[in-house]
Copies of this chain bind each other. A is one copy, B any other.
Amino acid sequence: MSDMAKKPQSGHIPSGQMTLFEELIDEAGGVFHWPDHRYDRTIRNVAAGQVIVRQGGAPDRVFEIISGTLKLSQVTEDGRQIILGFPAAGEAVGLTAGPEYRYAAETLTIARLRPVLRKAMYRQISGDRQARAQWLGWIDAREQMVQDHLAILSLNGPLPRLATFLLAQNTRQMKRAGRDDGVIDLPMTQRDIASYLAIAPETCSRTMKKLRTDAVIEAGVRNGDGRRIKILNRERLARAAIGSSP
């Protein structure tokens, strides 16, 4: 029930690719510390497994994701961990109207992030018309993410949930890349996916297998960080998403 509490799986600090990007990385392990100077709009490279914002921290910055994928997680009062989503390039992280960050954000892959001070954000929203449209777009995207999550969780089986998740992931990556070859990058672990879908990790694995043996998807090999799968039959994947078995 609260097995997630027993294994917080906090920052699994990989150091595999890090040697390649050592000079680009600001800090190596654990929580990423943002330099206080030159914080405004300076894009920085961050290693995988870095905690960008901490739950409960003061929300003084918003981060625009230039590239890479992040993971949003939250620890509830009773100790369970919830995965809230996997924002990627083009989205923003840290947007909140409250007095503190409600969730933690952690890089799943190497990422390029642009920090923006909250003050600057308010200035831009009031002033520059174009910048405001940009901000509202990010806020809207976040709204959409949450809505999609709720829609997934109100589905009643692992198969519809996973299928919907994969399709959504495909759509997002397709929009980002401009083309659609049916390949879906999954930089997150299956454990994270399971938590996001509110199913058991074993069930997630079994459902994946079912999709594989039914020739709906094709599982690739490990891709440095995470897996990569390919959609073989989008029709059936879409039908699985709404609960029709054949």
- Which residues of A does B touch, CB under 8 Å? 1-2, 74, 76, 78, 80, 82, 84, 96-99, 102, 125-126, 136-137, 139-140, 143-144, 146-147, 149-151, 153-156, 195, 198, 241-243
Q: Which residues of B contact A99 (CB under 8 A)?
A: 140
Of the residues B98, B149, B154, contact of A144 by C-beta under 8 Å: B98
Q: In the complex this chain forms, how many copies of it are found?
A: 2
The residue of chain B having its C-beta at the shortest distance from the C-beta of A244 within the complex is: B1
Q: Is the CB of B139 within 8 A of A78?
A: no
Q: Is the CB of B143 within 8 A of A98?
A: yes
Q: Is the CB of B80 within 8 A of A143?
A: no
Q: Which residues of B contact A78 (CB under 8 A)?
A: 241-242
Q: Which residues of B contact A149 (CB under 8 A)?
A: 150
Q: Is the CB of B147 within 8 A of A150?
A: no
Of the residues B76, B125, B140, B242, contact of A126 by C-beta under 8 Å: B125
Given the known A-B contacts A126-B125, A153-B150, A156-B198, are A243 and B2 also in contact in the complex, defined by CB atoms under 8 Å?
A: yes
Given contacts A102-B143, A102-B144, 14 further A-B contacts (CB under 8 A): A2-B242, A80-B151, A80-B154, A80-B155, A82-B150, A96-B143, A97-B139, A97-B140, A97-B143, A98-B136, A102-B147, A126-B126, A153-B153, A153-B198
